[in-house]
Amino acid sequence: MDTTGQKFQHPKLSSLHRENFIWNLKNVPLLEKYLYALGQNRNREMIEQVIQLFKDEVMTKLHHFRECINHGDFNDHNILIESSKSACGDAIYQVSGILDFDDMSYGYYVFEVAITIMYMMIESKSPIQVGGHVLAGFESVIPLTPVERGALFPLVCSRFCQSLVMAAYSCQLHPENEEYLMITAKTGWKHLQQMLDMGQGAVEVIWFGTARSYESGISM
């Protein structure tokens, strides 16, 4: 998807430079003006911790990341899957289509990986481990640089923050849509807390180890 986007041409392509777009991962600090929607509690403290982590560990490295056009919303509702059978009868699943381009904007390859990991964590029975599988798939096409890999942890945490904060804010505006708006929050706070409790080093060991296992043909 991202490699295809590099070839995309359109007279209005510059409109994807959405400098203050709240869902672009580059704009995580903009969440600060919506924090009131969380009240004063442990959840808000976690968000503030991640925003500071983003400022310290991501904003200072943006110039090292490779730019691309991001889809920006690779969640399970926007990815179409087609199933088939292998020669031995095992089920094979392939991506057959992508939906919802409303959040497209200029960003970086590593943003796309982080966003996808976050949404797959929401759906997975092994939320920490799934990041390594997503990373392996992405890197089979576009290997990340060491600097980009090093930013994955704060970026995944930051995407959780975007989703959780904006859900709380949107619920205040549209309480009738709470069930839909709070889908991520059902498990998102728990996953974010787990990541912060484990720490970047421990999470990276799992992610990078799982991704590396694909090189030997034996996925974890």
DSSP per residue, 73-89: ---TTSEEEEEEE-TTS
Burial 150-171 (b: 16+ CB within 10 A, else e): bbbbbbbbbbbbbbbbbbbbbb
For residue 67, list its beta bridge partners: 108
The set of long-range contacts for 138-142, using a CB threshold of 8 Å and a minimum separation of 24, is: 138/112, 138/113, 139/211, 140/214, 141/3, 142/2, 142/3, 142/109
pLDDT score recorded for residue 1? 57
Q: Which residue among the candidates 73, 102, 103, 197 is catalytic per the annotation?
A: 73
Cα within 13 Å of Cα(58), Cβ side:
26
pLDDT score recorded for residue 19? 84
pLDDT score recorded for residue 200? 98
pLDDT score recorded for residue 59? 96
pLDDT score recorded for residue 191? 97
pLDDT score recorded for residue 6? 60
pLDDT in tens, 64-92: 999 998 766 666 666 777 877 777 777 77
Residue 112 in contact with residue 79, Cβ under 8 Å? no
Burial 96-129 (b: 16+ CB within 10 A, else e): eeeeeeebbbbbbbbbbbbbbbbbbbbebeebbe
Annotated catalytic, 73? yes
pLDDT score recorded for residue 185? 87
CATH topology of domain 2-212: Aminoglycoside 3'-phosphotransferase; Chain: A, domain 2 (3.90.1200)
Residue with tokens 């975007």: 162
Q: What are the domain boundaries of the chain? A: 2-212
- Of 151, 182, 142, 131, which is closest to residue 25 (Cα–Cα)? 151
- In the 8-state DSSP scheme, what is residue 96? E
pLDDT score recorded for residue 97? 73
Residues of the chain with pLDDT under 70: 1-12, 71-78, 96, 99-104, 216-220
- Residue ranges of alpha helices (H) inside 22-62 are 42-57
pLDDT score recorded for residue 7? 60
